[in-house]
Structure formats: structure tokens, C-alpha cells
Amino acid sequence: MDLHPASKFTFEQLTNAYNETRVDYLVPMPMNVARLMEYCRVYDVSLEHSCVAVEGDVMLGLGMLGVRQGRGWITRLGVLPAGRRKGTGSALMEGLIGAAQDEGLDMMWLEVIKGNDPAYQLFQKYGFKETRELIVARRAPKTQFNQEVFDKVKRITTLNHEDAIILLAHREERPNWLNETESQQNVRNLSALLVELKNGGRGWVTYHAGLLQLTRLIVEVTVGDPVEVTEAILTVLHQRHRRQDSIAENLCEDQTWLGFQKAGYFDSFRRIEMKRPL
């Protein structure tokens, strides 16, 4: 088995290999070439520091490494059926950690889907420790919205992409790699809403509005009850985007999450965030 930089392969080769690693995965995550290219751009994935395990002409597995200001993020790690029970996962981890050390990074992050015990144990073996549990939540589109909650709203201010980035840069909560300001800066055409309630509660939401789906939802409450204000913010958002499905990634299980639930979101699956100093 040999390890090669992912930059030696085409995006089509990487996409095909990645999809083969997920044929029996806990949560289906199919990828196409355009989506993988966008993923690498948004999350600062360095193909030069990412690894592909090969035996002869057969790809056995791959793992990608995002690189930002002294930090690395392991993502899209997977082993193809042909590479299983051969130590491929360990070889990829050693390659990615080695690449991070060669780059002089101080810390490595990753997430693993809750319930994926083999991957969790692999990451523990290489010194990663659990830091928190994160929720991936969804909401189906609804033609009706909660008028009673909407009536609590005093003022709504619509903001553009540049304003959204300013809001995100001043968050109090520590974001996960997917939700970091660096990631959101790489997304095109973010939108934001500032919402003020009649009782003085205030907060905001940033998001990306696609034709069929709202994604990259981030909510922060600046004044007032987190549950009440979050529900009101999301009610305003979905009053404006009634036909879109919605997904909010890597939420913490806190009062804001209760507001998401009151607004119709449900727990789709969970990720475990893990870190390791270098």
C-alpha cells in the first residue's frame, strides 16, 4: 500500500472513490464532481495535504485535510470495500497527521457521525478526544406559519452577504469548522435577517437560499430569551421562504436548539466533534 497526495488524482477519480467508500455508510452522502470541488473550496481543503491509499492501480481509501491558520481538519475519510481489513484507515490517518505536522499545524479537528463506532475508535487510537456533540437538523417546507409568534415581531431588517459576514465574525459562540466565518466567507450570496421583538428581544440569522433548500443556517440571540427569540427569527425566515426544505448543521444542544424545535426542526443525526493537539 502506498499513499499519494490527492492532488495527483482528478476530481472525477476522487468523487468516484469517495462514493464507493459510502456505499454502506450510516448516513447516505452521495457526491458529484461539482459538489466535491465546491466542498474543497468552501472548507479550504488542500489536495496537496490530502491522502489517497493505493495498491497497484487500485484505490483503497482517501482522506482530506482542510488547512487554516495553524489548524487542520480531517474530512471525507473513507475506505473502499477493496481496502477494508488491510489497515487502510490507519495508514490514511498517519498520512494526514504527518502532513499536518509537516505544515507546522498546532491542532487537528474532525467530526464523526454518532454511532460510527469503528471510526470513533480509530480516531481515539490516534489521540483525538471528544469535545462536544453536534446536531444536524432539518425542517420540511410548510405553507402555513405561526401567526401568533410572527405577531411578536416589531422590526425585520434584511442584510446582504457582506453584512452577514460581519455578524458571523462577531459571534460569541465558538463555531465548528463547517460554520466558521472562514467557511461562510467562501460561500456565495449569503443572506441575513435582523429581527427585533416587541418585548425587546433581538437576534439574527444568516443563511443561503437555494431554489429548493435553505442551508448554512446560523442563529444568534443577542438580547432576550433564547428559545423565544430563536423561534421568532426562524418563523420570520420561513414566512419568507415557505417552499424550501431547510437544513441546519452542527447545532449545540442548548436553548437555541429548543427554539429550532419549536419552529419545526427535528434531529436528523448527530456528529461528535473531536480534537487533537500536534
CA distance 248 to 207: 9
Which percentage of the chain shows pLDDT scores above 70?
99
Tell me, yes or no, whether 216 lies in a domain: yes
Q: Do both 96 and 30 map to the same domain?
A: yes
Tell me, yes or no, whether 77 lies in a domain: yes
Count of the separate structural domains present in the chain: 2
Tell me, yes or no, whether 81 lies in a domain: yes
CA distance 259 to 216: 17
Q: Do both 216 and 148 map to the same domain?
A: yes
Q: Is the dihedral of CA 89, 91, 96, 97 positive or negative?
A: positive
End-to-end CA distance of the chain: 25
Q: What is the pLDDT of residue 148?
A: 95
Query: Bigger pLDDT: 24 or 234?
Result: 234
pLDDT level of residue 28 (50, 70, 90 thresholds): low
Which of residues 49, 83, 105 is at a domain's end?
105
pLDDT digits (tens, 9 = 90+) for 124-149: 999 999 999 999 999 999 878 899 99
Q: What CATH number does residue 231 fall under?
A: 3.40.630
State pTM to two decimals: 0.93
Rounded to the nearest 10°, the torsion over CA 216, 221, 226, 229 is -90
The pLDDT mean for the chain works out to: 95
Q: What is the pLDDT of residue 172?
A: 86
* Strand intervals (E) in 56-106: 58-68, 71-79
Tell me, yes or no, whether 29 lies in a domain: yes
pLDDT digits (tens, 9 = 90+) for 150-165: 999 999 999 999 999 9
Tell me, yes or no, whether 165 lies in a domain: yes
CA distance 40 to 38: 5
CA distance 133 to 69: 24
Domain that holds residue 53: 2-105
Q: Do both 241 and 147 map to the same domain?
A: yes
Cell of 71: 489548524
